[in-house]
Structure 1
């Protein structure tokens, strides 16, 4: 069975949203919280961090395409996703 990938959004202390993908959300979030060397460079020094959203999205290809889409969304649309007011497109 293929690994299941997840899309997630992390909020920084300043309120910005970081979008990423992983096969293990708790592990990846812990890496981001710990900072170097495995956490995302763009999140270093921007904690405390909050895991705002995560969902299973299929295989790595689907996850990568969806991550690319969501990273280009305006902040208002990402915030609506976090609040559950919209859902992710399923044609990623």
Structure 2
């Protein structure tokens, strides 16, 4: 057994050009977003291209990321938008400090 910590996984939200939100998981959210922008990885973006990675949440492992993804997908759009707003605000605060 290794003492190396498990590689983190991420839950992310991507905004499509039509304003809808896509929730997914990855061990590299930025790489996955780039794939979505290039039309790879999810049929969701065939009708409206991916325009912005708007939310990223770190999880300890893939199982935790899957559980969190399921929880986020069950939220109404307003609650997802609130997550995005809080995330955006936290980025702005940390960038200033």
TM-score range, shorter chain: 0.7 to 0.9
Q: Does 1:83 align with 2:93?
A: no
TM-score by structure 1 length?
0.83
> What's 1:9 paired with?
13
Note the C-alpha offset of 1:45.
Answer: 3.7
Structure 1 CA distance for aligned equivalents of residues 17 and 78 of structure 2: 18
Do 1:32 and 1:44's aligned partners in 2 also have CA atoms closer than 8 Å? Answer: no
Which residue of structure 1 lines up, in the alignment, with residue 52 of structure 2? 50
Name segments (4+ residues, structure 1) moved above 2 Å. none
What are the ranges of 5 or more consecutive residues in structure 2 without an aligned counterpart? 88-97
TM-score with structure 2 length normalisation?
A: 0.79
User: Secondary structure at the residue paired with 1:26?
Assistant: helix
Query: What secondary structure does 1:6 align onto?
Result: strand
Structure 1 gaps, min length 5 = 86-92
How far, CA to CA, are the matches of 1:48 and 1:67 in structure 2? 18
Number of residue equivalences = 83
What's the counterpart of residue 92 of structure 2?
Answer: none
2:69 and 2:52 mapped to 1: Cα distance?
18
Say if 1:33 and 1:39, in contact at 8 Å, map to a contact too. Answer: no
Q: Give 1 or 2: higher helix fraction.
A: 2
Which secondary structure does the structure 2 equivalent of 1:49 belong to?
A: strand
